[in-house]
């Protein structure tokens, strides 16, 4: 339902596409649409990239994230494959290097049950032709001598890697702006407006911005935008706490993950990102005693020599969580209304493929990627 009495946004001509949210999703989609020659406006209530996108550990781990083969893993593998060219493109467009490393990821077992789970994962992933191998304790320590004695078995996935998520968020917002996307910062989208059954724009705080297409990319806040196609409680915040540790000299090269627990990411700049918690506590952006204790205990277990390393930063933010842990992407029941949200703990991984899929729908009317498993309609009305 529209409220035509509100005035139009005075400083901004009506764009072809209005994008709600300037995290990695909104900015990557804006970049692709601006490159296709469309007039794009990205509306961000705060600072581009400053929420989940800058909080992420930056792991590109579709194999690590998957307990079975399915649409999410397929999407993740395709997105991981896009990364090398994506990194080069962003460097050329923005001048920002996003710290991409194909480091490999070693998932370690700390218990007998973990060993069984890793052995099963190795078997089915190898049968699918994925690059994966089990590492006995001596093989594990030959590769990563700093690992503690609690690591009983390793599963190495050599094609996994990581990026610096903050740099990615910066590079994307800069590249999108350079490509011609306009950013309306400090403006809050209250609702999406429709006319004659299709999208006609968005209502900002007291004004209407007209647009024939609206893309909702508001991360954990998506369900708060009225008429955005993802009514509450479809997307909810799942808090994750993180710790940054200074590691000098580098003690390990792979991303190290403890099965079912947390992980350590050895960034190129010498920081080790240790994470994370998974807490359904609403939008409480806090770092807690319990959260830090759990993370730091795991750090000492995985790499005991880090016990003397300085903690340089702590933070928390919100993964956009859905009940089935799949993203919500594509068209909605309202013509002109698209969604790109619910990317939970794999949004950095899924950024290039999401931008491709959504921009193909806007520009060509259909995506080359099957988005049916990710349709908002799966949750009913």
Ligand X SMILES: Cc1cc2nc3c(=O)[nH]c(=O)nc-3n(C[C@H](O)[C@H](O)[C@H](O)COP(=O)(O)OP(=O)(O)OC[C@H]3O[C@@H](n4cnc5c(N)ncnc54)[C@H](O)[C@@H]3O)c2cc1C
Any contact of residue 45 with ligand X (CB under 6 A)?
Answer: yes
CB of 264 to ligand X, least distance (A): 11
Any contact of residue 242 with ligand X (CB under 6 A)?
Answer: yes
Cα 110 to Cα 24, 54, 113, distances in angstroms: 34, 30, 8
Cα 60 from Cα 159, distance rounded (Å): 9
Q: How many residues bind ligand X (CB under 6 A)?
A: 44
Tokens of 142: 């030959």
Q: Between residues 35 and 54, which has the closer beta carbon with respect to ligand X?
A: 54
CB of 27 to ligand X, least distance (A): 8
The H or E element containing residue 196 is none
Assign 87 to helix, strand or coil.
Answer: helix
Exactly one of 32, 35, 58, 329 binds ligand X (CB under 6 A); which one? 58
3-state helix, strand, coil in the chain (%, to 5): 35, 25, 40
Adjacency order of strands within the sheet including 105-109 = 133-135, 153-157, 105-109, 255-258, 263-266, 271-275, 236-246, 311-321
User: Interacting stretch for ligand X, rule CB under 6 A, among 101-109, 130-138, 213-221, 360-368?
Assistant: 213-221
CB of 92 to ligand X, least distance (A): 22
Tokens of 200: 């006609």
Cα 33 to Cα 60, 195, 266, 356, distances in angstroms: 24, 23, 34, 9
Any contact of residue 299 with ligand X (CB under 6 A)?
Answer: no
User: Interacting stretch for ligand X, rule CB under 6 A, among 129-137, 193-201, 296-304, 337-345?
Assistant: 337-345
Sign of the alpha-carbon dihedral angle for 23, 29, 32, 33:
negative
Question: In 3D, which of 166, 187, 177 has the Cα closest to residue 273?
Answer: 166
CB of 209 to ligand X, least distance (A): 11
Which residue(s) pair with 339 in the sheet? Answer: 216, 330
Any contact of residue 326 with ligand X (CB under 6 A)?
Answer: no
Q: What residues numbered 83-122 form the site for ligand X, per CB under 6 A?
A: none
Q: Between residues 134 and 339, which has the closer beta carbon with respect to ligand X?
A: 339
Any contact of residue 164 with ligand X (CB under 6 A)?
Answer: no
Phi, psi of 140 (to 5 degrees): -60, -45
Any contact of residue 21 with ligand X (CB under 6 A)?
Answer: yes
Any contact of residue 76 with ligand X (CB under 6 A)?
Answer: no
Any contact of residue 43 with ligand X (CB under 6 A)?
Answer: yes
User: Interacting stretch for ligand X, rule CB under 6 A, among 11-19, 43-51, 134-142, 373-381?
Assistant: 43-51
Exactly one of 41, 132, 200, 317 binds ligand X (CB under 6 A); which one? 317
Interacting residue ranges for ligand X, rule: CB under 6 A: 20-26, 43-46, 50-53, 55-59, 188-189, 217-221, 225, 240, 242, 275-276, 317-320, 341, 343-349
């Amino acid at each position: 339902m529209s409220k035509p009495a509100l005035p139009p946004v005075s400083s901004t001509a009506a764009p072809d596409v209005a994008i709600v949210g300037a995290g990695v999703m909104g900015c990557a989609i804006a970049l692709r649409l601006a490159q296709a020659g469309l007039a794009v406006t990205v509306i961000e209530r705060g600072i581009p990239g400053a929420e989940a996108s800058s909080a992420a550990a930056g792991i590109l781990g579709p194999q690590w994230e998957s307990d079975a083969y399915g649409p999410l893993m397929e999407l993740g593998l395709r997105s991981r494959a896009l990364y090398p060219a994506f990194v080069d493109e962003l460097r050329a467009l923005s001048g920002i290097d996003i710290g991409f490393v194909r480091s490999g990821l070693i998932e370690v077992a700390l218990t007998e049950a973990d060993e069984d789970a890793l052995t099963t994962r190795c078997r089915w992933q190898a049968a699918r032709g994925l690059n994966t191998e089990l590492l006995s304790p001596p093989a594990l320590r030959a590769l990563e001598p700093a690992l503690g004695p609690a690591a009983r078995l390793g599963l190495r996935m050599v094609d996994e890697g990581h990026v610096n998520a903050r740099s990615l968020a910066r590079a994307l917002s800069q590249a999108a702006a350079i490509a011609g996307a306009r950013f309306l910062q400090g403006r809050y989208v209250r609702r999406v407006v429709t006319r004659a059954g299709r999208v006609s724009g968005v209502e900002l705080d007291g004004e209407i911005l007209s647009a024939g297409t609206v893309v909702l990319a508001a991360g954990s806040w998506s369900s708060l935008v009225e008429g955005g196609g993802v009514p509450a409680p479809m997307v909810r915040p799942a808090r994750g706490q993180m710790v940054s540790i200074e590691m000098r000299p580098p003690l390990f090269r792979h991303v190290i993950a403890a099965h079912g627990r947390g992980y350590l990411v050895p960034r190129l700049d010498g920081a080790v990102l240790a994470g994370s918690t998974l807490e359904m506590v609403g939008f409480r952006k806090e770092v807690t005693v319990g959260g830090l204790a759990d993370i730091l205990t795991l750090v000492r277990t995985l790499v005991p020599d880090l016990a003397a390393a300085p903690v340089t930063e702590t933070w928390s933010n919100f993964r956009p969580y859905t009940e089935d842990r799949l993203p919500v992407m594509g068209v909605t029941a309202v013509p002109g209304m698209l969604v790109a949200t619910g990317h939970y703990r794999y949004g950095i991984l899924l950024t290039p493929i999401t931008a491709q899929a959504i921009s193909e729908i806007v520009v060509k009317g259909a995506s080359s990627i099957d988005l049916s498993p990710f349709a908002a309609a799966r949750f009913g009305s």
